[in-house]
Structure 1
Amino acid sequence: MKLFNVRVYGIMINEHKQVLVSDEFIRGGYFTKFPGGGLEFGEGTLQCVIREFQEELGLTIEVIEHIYTTDFFQVSAFDNRSQIISIYYLVKPVSAMNFPLLDKPFAFEIPEGAYQVEGARWVNWEEFSAEAVTLPIDKVVADLVKVRY
């Protein structure tokens, strides 16, 4: 059975013109992506991105504007049975940012048998590009963000 997987992500740019990314170890692979995750049944996309930032970073955010929704076919990086539809929003924090930050990519320990480990870090604007993220849709969005902001 073929499925759709809806993902919702937030793009946060701080006052130092740095972009927040999430380094994640998932199912044995390393990925740099934007903070966010899967839409749950019964929630809207705005609720989803707000919930994901709260769950992942303990951060309350405000959604500023829609940036992009996937407009091409993309199969999941984790299985070949689902099509990914990703929605991206520009967001800003409305609570204190007290989450721990990585000082370099994947600077976290992976416990034996861990399924997923993640950490957030800021990427300087000069170093931010499609090359700074791993997933194909995120690369499209990174290019859009560089042009638009």
Structure 2
Amino acid sequence: MKKVFNVRVYGIMMNEQRQVLVSDEYIRGGYYTKFPGGGLEFGEGTLQCVVREFQEELGLDVEVVEHIYTTDFFQISAFDDQSQIISIYYLVRPLSTPGFPVLDKPFGFEIPQGAFQVEGARWINWEEFSAEAVTLPIDKVVADLVKVRY
């Protein structure tokens, strides 16, 4: 199998109550808490990608405020051993009032029989937000940066 780079783009969004938005996801039998975002598509810029991902996942239009972090270490994919993950994180803000459904507890959704992926958004209070609140290794680095910077 050919080894490839997998570019991922994520948005960090905080609300007026100083809560951080995360996405709880059931993927291929595993449970992950991560930042909203996803894969860069061929022909797309990273800013376009994060805006598209928020529209697709949350039905929310956002604007990018600033770049937070780009992966600066080797990270193999959590889902295969043939792709190196490069993740880019931006601080984003909503352009309208968020109207997406919000989970009231981690993984507070039902998983239909045979489902490949299920996801839901959840706010984490600033006091409870840390590297331990997210699952993926690069997200943990970013969570620590966010806590120091904001």
Partner of 1:90: 91
Partner of 2:57: 56
State the alpha-carbon separation in 1 of the partners of residues 99 and 73 from structure 2: 36
Query: Hey, which bits of structure 1, 4+ residues long, moved more than 3 A?
Result: none
Secondary structure of 1:50's counterpart equals: helix
Partner of 1:73: 74
Percent identity for Structure 1 against Structure 2: 84
State the alpha-carbon separation in 1 of the partners of residues 120 and 38 from structure 2: 14
Unaligned runs of 5+ in 1: none
Cα offset for 1:46?
0.1
- Letter paired with 2:20: V
Cα offset for 1:95?
1.7
Give the alignment's Cα RMSD to 1 decimal: 0.3
State the alpha-carbon separation in 2 of the partners of residues 67 and 96 from structure 1: 23
- Letter paired with 1:64: V
1:6-52 CA-to-partner distances (Å, cap 9, x unmatched) read 00000001110000000000000000000000000000000000000
- Letter paired with 1:39: L
Secondary structure of 2:100's counterpart equals: coil
State the alpha-carbon separation in 1 of the partners of residues 100 and 28 from structure 2: 24
Partner of 1:38: 39
Partner of 2:13: 12
TM-score, length basis structure 1: 1.00
1:65-97 CA-to-partner distances (Å, cap 9, x unmatched) read 000000000000000000000000000000221
State the alpha-carbon separation in 1 of the partners of residues 134 and 69 from structure 2: 16
Secondary structure of 1:127's counterpart equals: coil
Unaligned runs of 5+ in 2: none
- Letter paired with 2:71: T
State the alpha-carbon separation in 2 of the partners of residues 7 and 42 from structure 1: 14
Q: How many residues align?
A: 149
Matched, 1:100 2:98: no
